[in-house]
Amino acid sequence: MYNIYINMHSSTVPNHHRERRNLAWHLATITRQSYTTLFLAWIALTATFALAYFLLSHFAPEHAPGAFAQMHPLQAFLNSLYYSIITATSTGYGDIFPQGFSKVLASIQTISSLMVFAIFVTKLVSSQQEIALQEVHKLTFEDIFHNAREDLFIIRRDLDGIIDDARRHGKLSEEAWENLFIAFKQAQTLLQEIPDFYNGGNTFYTIDARREQLLLEAVHRTLHRINKALDVLSRAQIDWSGHPQCMKDLKELMRIFDSITPLWQERSPYKKKEAFADILDMKRQMHERIGTSLPI
């Protein structure tokens, strides 16, 4: 019953629509062929038409290109091949010209050969464009990677300044609090970008094992510095847990970290369990620190 429905439905599709779909399918099939296949197809077309011109020179000289009938068979075949190549490349020197039925053959050969040649060139240009696009994506994501590590370093440097203020003065200035909030927000943004290095947001670039190790170390050091900053603030009796903005940004940071860590581990092809274990331990310490700081 289902097949009957499909047949009935397909019969209602206009013929010109089916013809367009068939043409598009054939063109797509041709463009998927390799360079070697396309080149061999062009050679085969050229040789086939050369043979057709040669046969015309023997069996219907009035329809053959030029005056092949008076030539030796080998010479006639070589001239037929020469004429076929000239026609296929659309050069047209004019020393040999078609007549009679060979005009039809020459027209068909010109169209078909130029079509194959155009597909070959288009495929070649498309391939070069794809290579160039891959290089652009690679350079872009490598730049993003280096910026991410640099930004993580800036976060650690800002946290070091906050730690130094807390130790020296036993309190934080408004500017120091603002730097702390900015550091938390910057860390949130950078953590959200990490999964994109593993074919999550692109199709051309995945960081190598060495860069991943550098990224893991940068994230681990940043989390360690955040833990250290909170510990120093607590020792200096600076009530960071009672600051609404501080707790809000910290909770959001941990929420993002909890969401990206499994994705990061899943997408990483290098499976560096020890490095991830260190980061997970730092995350656990931050959860405990925030949890014990919440009012009961």
- In angstroms, the CA 278 to CA 220 distance is 7
Total count of domains within the chain: 3
Is residue 1 very low, low, confident or very high in pLDDT (cuts 50, 70, 90)?
very low
**Better pLDDT: 127 or 13:** 127
In this prediction, residues 253-282 reach a mean pLDDT of 86
Residue 15 has what pLDDT?
61
Residue-level pLDDT at 144 = 84
Same domain (yes/no): 57, 85: yes
Residue 5 pLDDT:
43
Position 161 pLDDT exceeds 80: yes
User: Is 92 in the same domain as 166?
Assistant: no
Q: Do 138 and 280 have their domain in common?
A: yes
pLDDT score at 150: 94
CA–CA dist 77, 68 (Å, integer): 9
Domain boundary pick from 108, 128, 148: 128
**Most confident among 3-7, 126-130, 252-256, 291-295 (mean pLDDT):** 252-256
What is the residue whose two structure tokens read 């068939």?
22
The pair of structure tokens assigned to 186 is: 């910057």
Which residue stretches of 170-243 are H helix?
Answer: 174-193, 209-235
Q: Which two tokens stand for residue 130?
A: 């794809």
Same domain, 168 and 204: yes
Tell me, what CATH number does 287's domain have? 1.20.58
CATH code of the domain containing 103: 1.10.287.70
Domain-terminating residue out of 128, 163, 181: 128
The CB-side HSE value for 52 (13 A sphere, CA atoms) comes to 18
Are 116 and 138 within one domain?
no
Same domain membership, residue 174 and residue 258: yes
DSSP letter for 66, please. Answer: T
| Average predicted confidence (pLDDT) for the chain | 83
Q: Are residues 240 and 135 in the same domain?
A: yes
Same domain, residue pair 152 and 190: yes
Is the pLDDT at 128 greater than 80? The verdict is no
Confidence (pTM): 0.60
Q: What pLDDT digit, counting tens, does each position of 200-232 carry?
A: 555 566 788 888 889 999 999 999 999 999 999
- Tell me, yes or no, whether 158 and 288 share the same domain: yes
Which residue did the predictor score with more confidence, 146 or 131?
Answer: 146
Residue 57 and residue 68 share a domain: yes
Q: What number is the average pLDDT over the span 124-133?
A: 78
Asked whether residue 145 falls in the same domain as residue 285, the answer is yes
| Domain encompassing residue 63 | 34-128
Same domain, residue pair 262 and 275? yes
Kindly report, residue by residue over 45-90, the tens digit of the pLDDT: 999 999 999 999 888 888 888 766 677 888 889 999 999 999 998 8
d(CA 59, CA 56): 5
How much is the pLDDT for 295? 44
Q: Are 198 and 268 in contact (CB under 8 A)?
A: yes
Last residue within a domain, chosen from 85, 107, 128: 128
